[in-house]
């Protein structure tokens, strides 16, 4: 049984101009100790799906799902109160902007200690000792002194380490990292990713890593889920995804990587933009930007089986070309 199981998750926001579907029927499974990466460009609903799981969306969002189960517990029927005893303790989350994610009015020690106070029975001195231990574990130098530091006295990398120490403090079974390195310097990025991977191994933690960086995916993930415009378009193990992407969107993403670009000239790019609230195509959402789209794609897209990476595509690719022999077309946007 998987640690986290979500089926047909849909999140829509009430906006002035009508409802907007940010997440559209997404399935998601995470096994214990697994690192799952959710990839997609901005607006593909990857963060929103995880915020919905955590119950962190504003009131304007309505969340529905057929199944939302964590560690055998049904999150859909659970009261808010019971859910709050799981959130933070068993499922923890870190965010994109470490500097603004810590409360500027409280010391680092207070903010880590608060998490322990909420979810454990540790006493005051034990909490302090545990906080120091955690800060050591995430590589913060002289943790005793840092306990009384305020967030504005820390760098971005240090703040993210504090966030990681805080979220790992109750030894959660699942950690969700929402673009944890996007706001950091490149040199710090690698350190933070290493730290996350080590902590997962040490604490037997599963990790959902939300990112738009394929390099991060290759370095970290066991399994990858690709999202486009709120839908899951493909899901494969990381090796298979990089060697043989089945959805044309995944293939286009991979070929846009500078490392993969062969020859001189312009880097390949995907023409057009992600559809918004008002220009959602009726069939396959990627159809207007897809080189292999045909007339059937304008009415619907079929979900393929696991052998084709669950690709949401009528003409899935095998070894870089549609298996059914569909010819590439010129795209005009």
Partner 1 sequence: MLRFFLTRLGLLIPTFIGVSIVAFAFIRLLPGDPIMLLAGERGIDPARYAELQASLGFDKPLPIQYFNYLSDIVTGDFGTSIVTKRPVLDEFMTLFPATIELALCAIILATLVGIPAGVLAAVKRGTWLDQTVMGTALVGYSMPIFWWGLLLIIFFSGILQWTPVSGRISLVYFFPPVTGFMLIDSLLSGQSGAFRSALSHLVLPTIVLATIPLAVIARQTRSAMLEVLGEDYVRTARAKGLPPRRVIGLHALRNALIPVITTIGLQVGVLLAGAILTETIFSWPGIGKWMVDSVFKRDYSVVQGGLLLIAGVIMIVNLVVDLLYGLINPRIRH
Please check whether residue 162 is in contact with residue 168, taking contact to mean a CB–CB distance below 8 angstroms: no
CB of 107: closest distance to partner 1 in angstroms? 8
Nearer to partner 1, 105 or 295 (CB): 105
Token pair recorded at residue 208 = 């959902």
CB of 118: closest distance to partner 1 in angstroms? 6
Q: Where are the alpha helices (DSSP H) in 223-289?
A: 238-243, 248-255
Q: Per rule CB under 8 A, is residue 11 in the interface with partner 1?
A: no
Measured distance between the N- and C-terminal CA atoms of the chain, rounded to whole angstroms: 44
Residue among 145, 177, 200 at smallest CA distance from 54 = 177
Nearer to partner 1, 115 or 308 (CB): 115
Q: What is the DSSP letter of 304?
A: P
Residue among 75, 22, 54 at smallest CA distance from 174 = 54
CB of 69: closest distance to partner 1 in angstroms? 18
Question: Rounded distance, CA 34 to CA 152, Å?
Answer: 34
CB of 51: closest distance to partner 1 in angstroms? 8
Among 121, 124, 152, 266, binds partner 1 (CB under 8 A): 152
The 3-state DSSP class for residue 229 equals coil
Q: Per rule CB under 8 A, is residue 97 in the interface with partner 1?
A: yes
Q: Per rule CB under 8 A, is residue 85 in the interface with partner 1?
A: yes
Q: Per rule CB under 8 A, is residue 16 in the interface with partner 1?
A: no
- H-helix or E-strand spanning residue 69: strand 67-70
Nearer to partner 1, 96 or 296 (CB): 96
Among 26, 92, 208, 224, binds partner 1 (CB under 8 A): 92
Please check whether residue 135 is in contact with residue 111, taking contact to mean a CB–CB distance below 8 angstroms: no
Q: Per rule CB under 8 A, is residue 89 in the interface with partner 1?
A: yes
Say how many C-beta atoms besides its own lie within 10 A of residue 247's C-beta: 29
Q: Per rule CB under 8 A, is residue 237 in the interface with partner 1?
A: no
Nearer to partner 1, 53 or 216 (CB): 53
Say how many C-beta atoms besides its own lie within 10 A of residue 24's C-beta: 20
Question: Rounded distance, CA 51 to CA 45, Å?
Answer: 10
Token pair recorded at residue 319 = 């070894």
Of residues 22-61, those binding partner 1 (CB under 8 A): 54-56
Binding segment toward partner 1, per CB under 8 A, in 161-169, 216-224, 268-276, 290-298: 161-169
CB of 114: closest distance to partner 1 in angstroms? 7
The 3-state DSSP class for residue 116 equals helix
Q: Per rule CB under 8 A, is residue 218 in the interface with partner 1?
A: no
Q: Per rule CB under 8 A, is residue 104 in the interface with partner 1?
A: yes
Q: Per rule CB under 8 A, is residue 300 in the interface with partner 1?
A: no
Number of residues binding to partner 1, judged by CB under 8 A: 31
Please check whether residue 270 is in contact with residue 253, taking contact to mean a CB–CB distance below 8 angstroms: yes
Residue among 293, 216, 295, 305 at smallest CA distance from 259 = 216
Among 7, 84, 128, 212, binds partner 1 (CB under 8 A): 84
Binding segment toward partner 1, per CB under 8 A, in 3-11, 96-104, 134-142, 209-217: 96-104
Residue 169 dihedral angles phi and psi, to the nearest 5° = -60, -30
Strand 91-94 vs strand 174-178: parallel, antiparallel, or unpaired?
parallel
Q: Per rule CB under 8 A, is residue 155 in the interface with partner 1?
A: no
178-190 residues labelled b (16+ CB within 10 A) or e (exposed): bbbbebbeeebbe
Binding segment toward partner 1, per CB under 8 A, in 11-19, 84-92, 129-137, 297-305: 84-92
Nearer to partner 1, 45 or 322 (CB): 45
Q: Which residues bind partner 1 (CB under 8 A)?
A: 54-56, 81, 84-89, 92-93, 95, 97, 100-106, 114-115, 118-119, 150, 152-153, 163, 166-167
């Amino acid at each position: 049984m998987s640690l986290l199981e979500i089926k047909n998750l849909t999140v829509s926001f009430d906006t002035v101009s009508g409802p907007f579907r940010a997440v559209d029927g997404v399935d998601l499974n995470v096994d214990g100790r697994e690192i799952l990466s959710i990839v997609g460009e901005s607006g593909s609903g990857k963060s929103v799906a995880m915020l919905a799981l955590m119950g962190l969306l504003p009131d304007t969002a309505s969340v529905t799902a057929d199944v939302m189960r964590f560690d055998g517990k049904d999150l859909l029927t659970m009261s808010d109160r019971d859910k709050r005893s799981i959130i933070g303790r068993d499922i923890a989350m870190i965010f994109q902007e470490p500097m603004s994610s810590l409360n500027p009015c409280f010391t680092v020690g207070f903010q880590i200690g608060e998490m322990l106070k909420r979810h454990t029975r540790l006493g005051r001195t034990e909490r302090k000792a545990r906080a120091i231990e955690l800060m050591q574990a995430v590589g913060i130098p002289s943790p005793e002194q840092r306990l009384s530091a305020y967030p504005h006295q820390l760098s971005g990398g240090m703040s993210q380490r504090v966030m990681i120490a805080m979220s790992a403090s109750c030894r959660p079974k699942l950690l969700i990292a929402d673009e944890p390195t996007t706001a950091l310097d490149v040199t710090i990025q690698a350190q933070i990713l290493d730290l996350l991977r080590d902590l997962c191994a040490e604490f037997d933690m599963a990790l959902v890593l939300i990112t738009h960086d394929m390099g991060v995916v290759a370095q970290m993930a066991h399994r990858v889920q690709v999202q486009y415009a709120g839908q899951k378009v493909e899901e494969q193990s990381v090796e298979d995804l990089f060697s043989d992407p089945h959805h044309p969107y995944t293939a286009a993403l991979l070929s846009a990587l500078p490392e993969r670009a062969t020859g001189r000239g312009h880097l390949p790019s995907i023409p057009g933009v992600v559809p918004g609230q008002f220009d959602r195509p009726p069939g396959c959402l990627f159809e207007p930007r897809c080189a292999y789209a045909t007339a059937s794609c304008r009415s619907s897209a079929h979900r393929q089986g696991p052998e084709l990476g669950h690709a949401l595509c009528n003409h899935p690719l095998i070894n870089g070309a549609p298996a059914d022999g569909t010819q590439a077309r010129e795209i005009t946007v």
